[in-house]
C-alpha cells in the first residue's frame, strides 16, 4: 500500500478532469479524493496497492480527453492513509 498526494497543473479545470479521475480511480482500484484548487490546478490523494497507484499516476500525466496537463507534482504520504472509496471533493 502507498498513498500519494498529487497536484496537476495545466488546463485541468472545466474539462471534467475530476470526474474522469474518479472514473479512472474506480477502474484502477484506488481510493482517495480529487478537488479543484483556487489557483486552477487539481489536487488529488491516491491510496492503494503500489501497482494501482503507479497506474493512476501514469494516467494523471495525460488526464481527461480535453485536458492539457503541463506538470504533475507528486509527494508520498507516510504512513499510507486509507479511504472508504474515491470521492470528488468540492
Report DSSP state, residue 88.
E
89 occurs within a structural domain: no
25 occurs within a structural domain: yes
**Count of the separate structural domains present in the chain:** 1
pTM score of the predicted model: 0.96
85 occurs within a structural domain: no
User: pLDDT tens, 53-75?
Assistant: 999 999 999 999 999 999 999 99
Give the pLDDT band of residue 44 (cuts 50, 70, 90): very high
What CATH number corresponds to the domain at position 47? 3.30.70.100
The pLDDT score that the predictor gives to residue 41 is 98
Count Cβ atoms within 10 A of the Cβ of residue 90 and give its class: 0-12 exposed, 13-18 middle, 19 or more buried.
Answer: exposed
Give the residue numbers marked as catalytic: 18, 36
Count Cβ atoms within 10 A of the Cβ of residue 34 and give its class: 0-12 exposed, 13-18 middle, 19 or more buried.
Answer: buried
Amino acid at each position: 500500500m502507498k498513498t500519494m498526494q498529487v497536484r496537476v497543473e495545466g488546463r485541468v479545470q472545466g474539462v471534467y478532469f475530476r470526474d474522469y479521475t474518479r472514473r479512472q480511480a474506480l477502474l484502477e482500484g484506488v481510493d482517495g479524493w480529487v478537488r479543484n484548487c483556487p489557483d486552477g490546478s487539481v489536487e488529488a490523494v491516491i491510496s492503494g496497492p503500489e501497482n494501482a497507484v503507479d497506474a493512476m499516476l501514469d494516467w494523471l500525466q495525460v488526464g481527461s480527453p480535453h485536458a492539457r496537463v503541463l506538470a504533475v507534482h507528486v509527494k508520498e504520504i507516510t504512513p499510507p492513509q486509507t479511504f472508504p472509496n474515491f470521492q470528488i471533493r468540492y
